[in-house]
Amino acid sequence: MHALKPLSSNSIPKALVRAKHYRLLNEPWQAESICRDILSVDSNNQKAILYLILAITDQFGSKNSPSYHEALRLCGDLQSPYEQYYYRGIINERLGKNALKKITPRAKYIAFEYYNKAMARFEEAEKIKPEGNEDSVLRWNACVRAIDEFSLEAAPRDETPTFLE
């Protein structure tokens, strides 16, 4: 087995550009790898943490996708309480989208629960949002539209779905 080569700290800015680039190219595994290299050198790099959270969530539903537990843990490493809530909302929203891809009778109930959890996180983020930042409102609205578009609803009382988090 080969050992990983360390990244030089002065190459972090370019590596962050690469991580973002690979996410945009729909290559989240590559973006995830780059973020892990950055964090091995600078464990508190906030952009690398954000990009890693997003790269992990980009892979939800794929074979061998990274754990949502890790994404949630990484949210705790974010310095901004706003971003902690906001990205926890993103995680739940993406879990909801992924649940809709499942072909099971309960998929819509599970998706509904995830979207509701996402909306709760976005509401918390909105309460402490930076001036002029309406991202949490935009995500809230997207969740409402998804619930409406897919006719999602809560499970009947005797069928409460089990879901992550």
Write the pLDDT tens digit of every residue in 11-47.
Answer: 999 999 999 999 999 999 999 999 999 999 999 999 9
Q: The whole model's pTM is what?
A: 0.91
Rounded distance between C-alpha atoms, residue 16 and residue 47, angstroms: 7
- What pLDDT shows up at residue 64? 74
Q: Distance (Å, rounded) from C-alpha 22 to C-alpha 162?
A: 33
Please report the DSSP string for 102-139 in residue order: S-STTHHHHHHHHHHHHHHHHHHHHHTPPTT--HHHHH
> pLDDT averaged over the chain?
94
The owner of tokens 């464990």 is 43
| 63 φ, ψ (degrees, to nearest 5) | -60, 135
Write down the pLDDT at residue 67: 86
pLDDT at position 159, please? 61
- Interior angle at CA 73, CA 31 and CA 93, nearest 5: 70
For 90-133, how does the pLDDT look when each residue is reduced to its tens digit (9 = 90+)? Answer: 999 999 999 999 888 899 999 999 999 999 999 999 999 999 99
Instruction: Work out the average pLDDT over 63-73.
Output: 85
pLDDT tier at 160 (50, 70, 90 boundaries)? low
Cα–Cα distances in Å, from 89 out to 17, 105, 154?
24, 25, 18
Query: Among 72, 3, 64, which Cα is nearest to 37's?
Result: 3
The DSSP string of 41-109 is H-TT-HHHHHHHHHHHHHTTTSTTPPPHHHHHHHHTT-S-HHHHHHHHHHHHHHHHHHHHHS-STTHHH
Q: What pLDDT is stored for residue 163 in this prediction?
A: 59
pLDDT band, very low/low/confident/very high, at 161 (cuts 50, 70, 90): low
Mean pLDDT lowest among 72-86, 87-101, 149-163: 149-163
- pLDDT score, position 61: 86
